[in-house]
Amino acid sequence: MSKITNVPIPSPSKVVNLSTAFIETGIPIPPIERIKLFSPYQWEDFLLEWVDSLRKKYSTVERCGSAGDMGRDVIATYKEDSAFWDNYQCKHYDRPFTPSKDWIEFGKLVFHIFIGGGEYTYPRKYYFVTPQGVVIKDLKKGLVCIRLQESAFHKMLDSRIIPS
């Protein structure tokens, strides 16, 4: 039969002062890391709340994001002129936003403005909002494409290629 013996527990090498709050909630997570944990739906809700906080600039803020949103997740109409609006496209991928891979999102909006019935005008500003960042090597190409596309919008409207 084995004999039970007392084994001394070693003292911690470093004294750590932990509060009960720290023990209850765990290690603090920096805000930029916390938003990476959101689901895509929570990310759109978060962006809706954030854009709504810009009420000095906007008169209305709406969430359109879902299947059939026509490339619009959160839209905001300007106070000074309700004909102008901004589009916030919320992308919560598990990787950085890559313009060369993700231009389809911009294409959806372009399609619905010019080809798919013209239910709305193009936005004054178009934002891709992502917590994972952007692939920098693609960013320059993306900005050039946006500038070219914006120029193309104006040329199409000025030449009346697109019926109003």
pLDDT tens sequence across 12-44: 777 777 778 777 887 888 888 888 888 988 989
Whole-prediction pTM = 0.66
Q: Residue ranges per domain, the chain?
A: 29-159
The pLDDT of residue 161 is 40
Q: In whole angstroms, what is the distance from residue 136 CA to residue 53 CA?
A: 29
Q: Is the pLDDT of residue 4 over 70?
A: yes
The fraction of the chain above a pLDDT of 90, given in percent, is 13
If one compares 11 and 80, the residue with the highest pLDDT of the two is 80
137: pLDDT confidence band, cut at 50, 70 and 90? low
The DSSP symbol for 16 reads -
Q: In whole angstroms, what is the distance from residue 163 CA to residue 109 CA?
A: 17
% helix / strand / coil in the chain, to the nearest 5? Answer: 40, 15, 45
Q: Are 135 and 96 in contact (CB under 8 A)?
A: yes
| The amino acid at 120 | Y
- The CB density around residue 37, as the number of other CB atoms within 10 Å, is 10
Average pLDDT, the chain: 76
Strand pairing category for 74-78 and 85-90: antiparallel
Q: Is the pLDDT of residue 159 over 60?
A: no
pLDDT in tens, 79-125: 999 889 898 888 888 888 777 677 777 777 777 777 766 677 788 88
The pLDDT of residue 13 is 75
Q: Is the dihedral angle over the CA atoms 77, 118, 64, 86 positive or is it negative?
A: negative
Count of all residues that appear for the chain in the document: 164
